[in-house]
Structure 1
Amino acid sequence: MSVLPLVFTSGWASGVNAYAVVLLLGLFGSTGLSDEVPATLQRPEVLITAGVLFLCEAVADKIPYVDSAWDTVHTAIRPAAGAWVGALLAGQSASMPELAAGALGGGTALASHAVKAGTRMAVNASPEPFSNILLSLAEDLGVAGIVTFAIFHPEVAAIIAGVLLLLGLVVLVFLVSRIRRFWRRRARRREERRMAAGARAGPAPPA
């Protein structure tokens, strides 16, 4: 059976929460629920590291502005994780070239990461924190659900991931104005902090 649907789905999920993908796939493999999971993802040190980082992301993802800073740091990490997982899955099944699987997983992860990061910027334009928490929970549950579903029904899960990615990109286009407002607010806050620091310092002493 081709591993292509699982690579695509894991790539989409990695763009949202890469640590959850590694943790879930590793657990499915180590418990014998799937033969598609490479041994590398089942190693205890990989599972422990992914679990700890998943908990860190679960907290950071629910705090306004901290979530966007976290997303910025993970602009390179999530696509790299998607490419790594995709290449491992392809190597395990030998049904498609590892390089192609890595490119597909990484590219899909980059696209879904852009949707997530852009959506978070738009959400941060609102003053209340509850939307961040709800969105983060929805993302966590969505990743867990679709990765689990992909283990047993990879083709259907890939279709769902494709639809979610397409819808996310469409929504992102409509959120551009909110994203611009987010960056303007950040720039204004930096300017206010700079002016406040200058006021506290007081005028320079005469020469």
Structure 2
Amino acid sequence: MKTALAVVPAAVILLAGCASGSGGADTPSPSGTVAAVDAVTAPGTTSSSTTAPAPTSASATAADVPTAFPTTFNDVNQTISDPDLKDSITVKRLARALPWPAGYKASAQAYELVALELTWTPSKDYTIPIRKQDFAINTGSQFPNTPDPMVDDAIKTAGFVLLPDQVDKGDPVTGWLVFKVDPRNAAKLTLDYTRPAVQISGTRTSFPAKTFSVGIVG
């Protein structure tokens, strides 16, 4: 197996830096014009074809699971394949309008929490990581729409498996990523995966940075 050294371009670094915007205080919308006076109740998911798995932890009892957390999901079953590195990402299921934690009233009016169940299949030819920081949901907004950890604990309590920060070898890994998406209730959602530039160690082979996209809504 050849080792691939990722050379992360500035655009990807900026993307990664924007991925965490949930330090516990509410954050303004990109325009800075959103103001909230009342709590927002996230709507439930109306179309579905699969149901939620049962909690896998003994501590995740029915009383622990947030009542507004989705129990039904939309099947997507779309795959991104990297022809250069021979790895792939499959979008299995989608859950929209996840409930916001307390203290995020303004954000809940402007943004939507969207969960994707993904399967990451690492390359068998190269050891190049598939990283969660390289994913974003594209709605046409200038907001980065990257993974956000603010409800990770609630998802784990509900019995769902989260994806790791990255995988670079081994068997396929399946889990969930939650994205903070602008605008709320967008009619079209596209998953973007930006592979960083890669130089194959010990060779002259290199691959430029490339963004792969797959439609998930609309």
TM-score between the two structures when normalised by the length of structure 1:
0.25
Which structure has the bigger radius of gyration?
1
Q: Which of the pair is proportionally richer in helix?
A: 1
Bigger relative contact order (CA 8 A; separation at least 6) = 1
TM-score between the two structures when normalised by the length of structure 2:
0.24
